[in-house]
Structure 1
Amino acid sequence: MANGDAVPKILPKGGGGGEVKKKNGQANGRTRRALGDIGNIVTGPAVGAKPQTKVSHPITRRSAAQLIAKGQEPVQKNKTKPLVTKGVAARKVGVPAKAEAIKKDYVKAKAGTISGICPEEDVKTIEKIPLKERKVRKSGKTLTSILTARSKAACGLSNKPRSQIVDIDAADIDNHLAGVEYVEDIYKFYKLTEDENRPCDYMDSQPEINDRVRAILVDWLIEAHKRFELRPESLYLTVNIMDRFLSEEPVPRRELQLLCISSMLIASKYEEIWAPEQVNDFLTITDNAYVRDQILLMEKVILGKLEWYLTVPTPYVFLVRYIKAAVPSDQEMENMTFFLAELGLMNYTTVISYCPSKIAASAVYAARSTLNRSPRWTDTLKHHTGYTEDQLRECAKQLVSFHFGAAENKLKAVYRKFSSPDRCAVALLPPARDVHIGSS
């Protein structure tokens, strides 16, 4: 009986000449496949197989292209079972292909095409997407443009090109007295402060004054202003001082003329280069109804009540600027504007209802309408005045209605003043029909 040493050793199934397979599962001469096929890992050569070029790194498209360029082929991992990349339908890895095709795939991969992540039928390469579809479709306006437009609208600024707005200060660039560097800021300040120095509605607090009496006083002031040959700004400041004082203090009718000449004396001292030299000049035009001390006392009372504040933006301040902006402007245009503005100065409702800048802008608009200037309102005027045609139309209609009734009105100081040839006789021109709302 044979001993245990004579028993032949059991060989593993399917092969001979190898060692017995151990319980720990180590394969004879092979690396154990822990996770199955992963597609691009090159394993060692099988026992007895022909030696292959040793590759110590995974085969990528780039390295495969380099191998092919050197006359080599990428190593197949398994000749009997094709490897399928996860998510890619039946694509063999390592099959020899032309270098140009692999290079093309590599270029596509760098451009952003990713293979092996989703099925090929669902993948759209960048080359297949039209250029216009690749761009992000944006709405016509961005948030920044919308906020900018709203900010400009809130500030009253225009979005129109600057080239449409005439530089009215270009001719005065060398005139140091014109203050070209500061004129825009000055008028912005005037518009901000014009409401602080406007007279309030004082007719209810003045028992002996009505609209008609005030119109008579202003008509008389215009005559006195013309007789003394004073500057235009003196007239507007005189009326402003008178109205502001009446807003603060009730005045009996017998002292109204005294208030007028005292206001003109103050305005002359403030505005004129050569003011009337003696108070007696003002006493003369009143037929000596008052004495010198009364005028000086009233002057002191007025200045105290107004707290000596005389630097105020009157309609004249805006008139000279807006007439300059009404390019092209001529003498006829200038006189027509002042004619309509002084008609408005006599009307109590106009002075109380509208601020000085609007009265001045409306006078320019009404004058352009009367003289048939086209267009009636330009971008330059809109820029410098800050008003549109719709904002000025109502006030302009009032001024034109005063023009309709100027010839029949008993108070003719303004009408006579602007009927003279040296004023281009603008008062004799027919009023503008398209803004007329009826005489008042």
Structure 2
Amino acid sequence: MASIAHSNVVAEPQHPKGENKQKNEGRNRRVLKDIGNLVVKQVDPVANVPKRITRNHGCQMLANAQAAAEKNKKPNSDVGNLVAVTKVEQTKKPTEPEVIIISSDDEEEQKEKEVVKGGRKTREKVAVRGKNNKAFSAVLSARSKAACGFTHKPKDLVLVDDIDIADIANELEAVEYLDDIYKFYKLTEDDGRVHDYMPSQPDINIKMRSILFDWLIEVHRKFELMPETLYLTLNIVDRFLSMKAVPRRELQLVGISSMLMACKYEEIWAPEVNDFVCISDNAYVRENILIMEKTILSKLEWYLTVPTTYVFLVRYIKASTPSDKKIEDMVFFLAELSLMDYPLVISYCPSMIAASAVYAARCTLGRSPYWTETLEHYTGYYEEQLRDCAKLMVNFHSFAPESKLRAVYKKFSSLEHSAVALVTPTKNLLA
């Protein structure tokens, strides 16, 4: 049908005009305007609309009226001039929109007016003040704060410190997005959380896992890697072991392959595969590490962007005001001791482990109060919710000097980390 219609359209100019009359009637039919098919005379919508009186047009009308009054030179020219001006003002029905100049709220906003003096147009700047004359920047800022709920803060937020106020000028901190980012972390932390997987591992046990983690912490320190790399490495190992049964002889291979992946993800200058071959005393060859790396990525479905304990530690340490190097080292010391313990990792989510480490560190170093409104606001946890996990961390601290797995204790006994491992554990949280 489409081809037939197309051929008719092309052939129309070849036929006489009379033969195409019947065909053209369908094209010339008037489009239906309403349900009754009534033809209403169309009215030009612009014809009856009066011309908008702009500033230049109004001044021109006023100048013409004054020129006409002077031309008549009647005694009552002043009265006529007044009447003409009044008529011009009456005809100017549409109110002229207010001119607002974008400026800071502290400066006086100015409004320009054109005044006709002696037949010449001059501009006068008039300072305008008032509640209704606000700058666009102030209006937009007020609307943004209202949309975000900042206009009426609850009374309980009065005692909460704004921990990001010092970083507002730093664009890399992304201060305006931090609250939303950590809300998203709290919502998605269960996706990367490790659950009890030892019953599905016939060839390895909890002690072997602790030995592997102790060795990985030592390797991480030897390579001088970023702390993000360590936490991601341990997370990858646990998640992979929860998905696949691993023989005992391949457990170390899983550890170094996981650290290789974490280094590629977090480090600027990642160690090479041969470095991991050497650090494992040539127990595996290069091909073994690469094959295991592919196996882990396949099992995890390339899902490496998970909120580990580290991302919460950084935020909660910042909320522990006033914060210094010693409190920061103590928090990381307790957190790494906790990641070595399998029952604690499967029992508590990463955000609670991080909050408990901050609470236990403040108790150990005697920071009063132990838990503040600011920490409660940014962590989302009350002090009572953290006591059980914090008690476990303090117990790990007390047993660390006698433990056979001493990588964490040795690391935080150095002056580089403020020797926080040598601090006496707090008695308030000892079981």
If the length of structure 2 is used for normalisation, what is the TM-score? 0.64
- After TM superposition, the structure 1 = structure 2 runs for residues 86-235 of structure 1, keeping only pairs within 5 Å, are 160-235=155-230
Specify the code of the residue in structure 2 equivalent to 1:390: E
Structure 1 Cα separation of the partners of residues 252 and 155 of structure 2: 51
Specify the code of the residue in structure 1 equivalent to 2:161: V
Q: Deviations over 1:257-297 (max 9, x none)?
A: 00000000000000111111x20000111100000000000
- Which residue of structure 2 aligns with residue 238 of structure 1? 233
1:375 aligned onto 2:369 = yes
- Equivalent of 2:407 in 408, 413, 419: 413
Larger Rg: 1
State the 1:161 CA deviation. Answer: 3.1
- Which residue of structure 1 aligns with residue 276 of structure 2? 282
- Which residue of structure 2 aligns with residue 41 of structure 1? none
Q: Percent identity?
A: 67
Structure 2 counterpart SS, 1:337: helix
- Which residue of structure 1 aligns with residue 251 of structure 2? 256
Specify the code of the residue in structure 2 equivalent to 1:303: L
- Which residue of structure 2 aligns with residue 302 of structure 1? 296
Structure 1 Cα separation of the partners of residues 346 and 239 of structure 2: 11
Structure 2 counterpart SS, 1:256: helix
- Which residue of structure 1 aligns with residue 420 of structure 2? 426
Structure 2 Cα separation of the partners of residues 355 and 252 of structure 1: 28
Change (3 A) 1:306 1:385: same
Q: Deviations over 1:218-271 (max 9, x none)?
A: 000000000000000100000000000000000000000000000000000001
Specify the code of the residue in structure 2 equivalent to 1:257: Q
Structure 1 Cα separation of the partners of residues 202 and 193 of structure 2: 21
Q: How many residues align?
A: 279
Structure 1 counterpart SS, 2:252: helix
Specify the code of the residue in structure 2 equivalent to 1:327: T
Structure 1 Cα separation of the partners of residues 323 and 193 of structure 2: 29
- Equivalent of 1:267 in 259, 262, 286: 262
Structure 1: tracts of 5 or more residues without a match: 1-157
- Which residue of structure 1 aligns with residue 349 of structure 2? 355
- Equivalent of 1:342 in 333, 336, 340: 336
Q: What RMSD, in angstroms, separates the aligned Cα atoms of the two structures?
A: 0.9
Structure (1/2) with the larger strand percentage: 2
Structure 2 Cα separation of the partners of residues 382 and 247 of structure 1: 33
Structure 2 counterpart SS, 1:319: helix
Structure 1 Cα separation of the partners of residues 316 and 193 of structure 2: 20
Structure 1 Cα separation of the partners of residues 157 and 236 of structure 2: 39
Structure 2 Cα separation of the partners of residues 371 and 284 of structure 1: 40
State the 1:197 CA deviation. Answer: 1.4
Structure 1 Cα separation of the partners of residues 385 and 343 of structure 2: 17
Structure (1/2) with the larger helix percentage: 2
Q: Deviations over 1:350-385 (max 9, x none)?
A: 110000000000000000000010000000000000
State the 1:159 CA deviation. Answer: 5.4
State the 1:160 CA deviation. Answer: 4.2
Structure 2 Cα separation of the partners of residues 300 and 210 of structure 1: 24
Structure 2 Cα separation of the partners of residues 199 and 404 of structure 1: 26
Q: Deviations over 1:307-362 (max 9, x none)?
A: 00000000000000000000000000000000000000100011100000000000
Specify the code of the residue in structure 1 equivalent to 2:228: E
Structure 2 Cα separation of the partners of residues 343 and 386 of structure 1: 23
Structure 1 Cα separation of the partners of residues 254 and 281 of structure 2: 15
Structure 1 counterpart SS, 2:242: helix
Structure 2 Cα separation of the partners of residues 237 and 161 of structure 1: 36
Structure 1 counterpart SS, 2:258: helix
Specify the code of the residue in structure 1 equivalent to 2:366: N
Structure 2 counterpart SS, 1:251: coil
If the length of structure 1 is used for normalisation, what is the TM-score? 0.63
State the 1:162 CA deviation. Answer: 2.2
Structure 1 residue ranges (4+ consecutive) displaced by more than 4 angstroms after TM superposition: none
Structure 2: tracts of 5 or more residues without a match: 1-152
